[in-house]
Structure 1
Amino acid sequence: MEPEPPTAWPVLRRMPDLATLEEQTRTAVDAAVARLCLLRDVFADRFLVLARRHLPSYEVLPDDDVKASAQRFLDVLISELNSQRVPDDALREVLWDHAHERAARGIPLDDLALGYKLGSRAMLSLLDEVAAEVAMPSAFLLAAHDSTWEFANEASGIFARIQHELALERAHFDAERRATFAAGVLSGSFPAEQINCDAQAFGLAPQSSYVALAARAETPDDAETIRRTVASAVQVSVDRLLLARIGPALGFIVQRVPESVGRHLVAAGPSLPLDQLAKGFDEAVLTLETARQFAMSGVVHLADLGPRPLVLGDAHTAERLSARHLTALERAGRSNGEIEVTARIYLECDQDVGEVARRLAVHPNTVRYRVNRFQQLTQLDLRRTEDLVTTWWLLNRRRS
């Protein structure tokens, strides 16, 4: 028994060039156009019934709005047929504007697509009635059906692109609002009343405490990497993270200090209420700038830095003390670098000669010689507390 041949799909008919229609068909199209002009209200009423039955989201639209929209599409069809043009391009333009307006008013993508298909069905039904009245050739009518449904599929793609564009616009607007709020809180430019009023819009509780973070990024790509790293570390989606650029620093508002940020440097201020968080951000920025000077990484608190922030202050005093104590060291020739590094590490290791020798891979006697030489050249006695503090301050300032 031979297998049955597969069922052949119907041939897809496209609308012909209307300027080349046979006289009989042209006459029928002209008669159809005249008849459709008289049926604008009929078509609008039919679509309104369909919309109210199948499109719940259209409840926000008054009847006159829905009917006017339906008539606008029918007018495009009539105008193009009357001008001997296939209405695809004209419909695309009207559809694009219509979809933007509807989506901006909150009509979902699925309802937009369904609404257009319902309108197309109602329009073709009306065209069938008119075609019977004016004796329109069946081949032309079938081509109109096929082209209409093919365009309806294209319309779904148009709706999807518009919905995507609007989603991006909303996300951009939301990001701007978040950045403005974060900047206002962290810079101290927002009064407490405004902070407490706006906080809930961003998922924050005014009575709770939060942490200000500070980081630096040299490029937009670095900023995006740090943003994603912080969001992951505090378990917040990237688009919900409160972030603003304040001067050269990136400022964050988070509920808790991240445990790890990889190779990045992020400074954390103390936990404070939102209306006091500007003080926390100031501390975080001081911590950040100090930690950067000392080539630190990870999550850093002010308490982790000891007296290091003092190293960066009072430039005039530093210059005078450097001129007094370090000039002779600088004249010591190529050995001055070894002597200076040894003295600094000697203080970092709490004057443990063995540990210094291990870190520098030299003999302990070499360490002792360099430390003594440092004291001779600088006239700083590391057995005296004031000289020891001065040495630590000067060497760390030079290092930073």
Structure 2
Amino acid sequence: MERETPTAWPVRRRMPDLATLDDSTRAAVVTAVARLRTLRDVFADRCLALLRRYVPGYAVLSDDEIQASARRFMDILTSELSSLRVPDAALRDVLREHAVERAKRGLPHDALAIGYQLGSREMLALMDEVAADVHLPAAFLVAMHDSTWEFSNEASSLFARVQHELVLERSHVEAERRSAFVEGVLSGTLPADRINRDAHLFGLDPRARYVALATRASSSCETDALRRAVASAMRSPSDQLLSAPVRDVLGFITARSPEAVVGQLVCVGPPLPLDQLAAGFDAAVLALHTARQFAMSGVVHLTDLGPRPLVLSSAGIAESLAAKHLTPLDAVGGSSGEVEETVRTYLDCDQQVGKVARRLTVHPNTVRYRVKRFEQLTGLDLRRTEDLVTSWWLLNRRRA
């Protein structure tokens, strides 16, 4: 059997350089353009009728606006053709501006693309009518049809790009507004009346209580990872979280505390009304600073830290006590590190020698010896409450 030869599509004809046309074709083009100019109102009326009938999206525009736009494109086309220029370049110059303006008016890009195609079809229909009267060569008319439809496809792509860019721009502006609100609430710089007035814009109820979260990131990539981790813990899309950098901390406003945040340190303030949440954020930041010093991770509340925040305060008092009690320990040299670690573990384990021995994998007598050695060197008696507290404070401050 003979194989069928597939039918090839006809090659698209592009508009020729109008300056190179022969005299008769050029004269026909000039005459056709002059006739088209007299039909600009007819073109505008036809476009209006088509758009009103077939493209509901154009309801956002008035009749006058649609007709004025049609006349403008007719004027560009006839002006370029009368100057013996292919109109594509001139149309490109106005299409983007036209697309942005229409999108801001609420016209969807698909409606705009269909409208442009309908307008192109109507323009070609008028050209066909005029061409028959002025005897425009068929080859030129076919090239005009092919070029017009090819440019119409290009215009559709441009409309889609403009729509995408505007969506991104609006998203960026909205993200900046959200961030500014969160920063103002958590830093305490936004007045209470402004907070209560704008809360609903961000899905918040000024009568409800919220919690402030505080965490820290060292890079934009880490910030994104933290947002995703918190979003996952809250079971919420990351782009819907209310977060903002506040000083050197990344802060969040959430309806509740996350139960767990895998692999991250997130500190939580107490539930408070929005206009008092700055105090809750301060508590979360204090918890964050303390928990980082103690190499903690997970979800941490200030109340989980016990007296640890106090360990990092009163630097002057701590230095004088350390000079009195820990300097003799340090002077011993190599074994002082083992002694210090054992006593710190001893205090963490509520003075249970067996538990300390298992944790450090040493004999219980070794634990007892090191505790006694610590007392001898520092002058602190761990049987006395005041000395025990002082020891816990100094050793944990040094670890922090």
Q: Secondary structure at the match of 2:85?
A: coil
Judge conservation of contact 1:199–1:205 (CA < 8 Å) in 2: yes
Judge conservation of contact 2:259–2:299 (CA < 8 Å) in 1: yes
Note the C-alpha offset of 1:138.
0.9
Residue of structure 2 in register with 1:270 after alignment: 270
Does 1:244 pair with 2:233? Answer: no
Note the C-alpha offset of 1:22.
1.6
Q: Take 1:31 and 1:238, find their aligned partners in 2: how far apart are those partners?
A: 62
Residue of structure 2 in register with 1:76 after alignment: 76
Q: Take 2:94 and 2:75, find their aligned partners in 1: how far apart are those partners?
A: 11
Pairs aligned (count): 400
Note the C-alpha offset of 1:124.
0.7
Judge conservation of contact 1:73–1:94 (CA < 8 Å) in 2: no
Q: Take 1:102 and 1:230, find their aligned partners in 2: how far apart are those partners?
A: 39
AA matched with 2:167: A
Q: Secondary structure at the match of 1:199?
A: helix
Deviations 1:212-270 (A, max 9, x none): 10000011111111011111211222221111111110110111211221111000111
Judge conservation of contact 1:36–1:130 (CA < 8 Å) in 2: yes
Q: Secondary structure at the match of 2:9?
A: coil
Q: Take 1:398 and 1:6, find their aligned partners in 2: how far apart are those partners?
A: 84
Q: Take 2:169 and 2:350, find their aligned partners in 1: how far apart are those partners?
A: 58
Note the C-alpha offset of 1:8.
3.8
Q: Secondary structure at the match of 2:253?
A: strand
Note the C-alpha offset of 1:2.
6.0
Deviations 1:374-399 (A, max 9, x none): 10111000000000000000000010
Give the TM-score of the pair, scaled to structure 1: 0.97
AA matched with 1:262: V
Q: Take 2:63 and 2:41, find their aligned partners in 1: how far apart are those partners?
A: 12
Deviations 1:285-333 (A, max 9, x none): 1111100000001111112111101101110110111111111011011
Q: Secondary structure at the match of 2:204?
A: coil
Note the C-alpha offset of 1:83.
2.1
Residue of structure 1 in register with 2:175 after alignment: 175
Residue of structure 1 in register with 2:394 after alignment: 394
AA matched with 2:304: D
How high is the sequence identity, in percent, across the aligned residues?
66
Within-5 A mapping of 1:169-318: 169-318=169-318
Judge conservation of contact 2:60–2:106 (CA < 8 Å) in 1: no
Q: Which runs of 4+ in 1 moved over 3 A?
A: 1-8
Q: Take 1:232 and 1:101, find their aligned partners in 2: how far apart are those partners?
A: 39
Q: Secondary structure at the match of 1:270?
A: coil
Within-5 A mapping of 1:94-109: 94-109=94-109
Within-5 A mapping of 1:353-372: 353-372=353-372
Q: Take 1:4 and 1:216, find their aligned partners in 2: how far apart are those partners?
A: 69
Q: Take 2:317 and 2:54, find their aligned partners in 1: how far apart are those partners?
A: 80
Q: Secondary structure at the match of 1:358?
A: helix
Within-5 A mapping of 1:83-122: 83-122=83-122
Residue of structure 2 in register with 1:25 after alignment: 25
Q: Take 1:377 and 1:179, find their aligned partners in 2: how far apart are those partners?
A: 54
Residue of structure 2 in register with 1:154 after alignment: 154
Across the aligned residues of Structure 1 and Structure 2, the Cα RMSD in angstroms comes to: 1.4
Give the TM-score of the pair, scaled to structure 2: 0.97
Deviations 1:126-180 (A, max 9, x none): 1111111211111111110111111111111111111110011010001001001
Q: Take 1:90 and 1:231, find their aligned partners in 2: how far apart are those partners?
A: 48
Q: Secondary structure at the match of 1:333?
A: coil
Residue of structure 1 in register with 2:43 after alignment: 43
Q: Take 1:232 and 1:54, find their aligned partners in 2: how far apart are those partners?
A: 45
Judge conservation of contact 2:179–2:243 (CA < 8 Å) in 1: yes
Q: Secondary structure at the match of 1:11?
A: coil
Deviations 1:173-199 (A, max 9, x none): 010010011111111222222112111
AA matched with 1:239: D
Q: Secondary structure at the match of 2:223?
A: helix
Q: Take 2:185 and 2:98, find their aligned partners in 1: how far apart are those partners?
A: 40
Within-5 A mapping of 1:111-150: 111-150=111-150
Note the C-alpha offset of 1:62.
2.1
Residue of structure 2 in register with 1:380 after alignment: 380
Deviations 1:12-35 (A, max 9, x none): 111112121121111111111111
Judge conservation of contact 2:267–2:284 (CA < 8 Å) in 1: yes
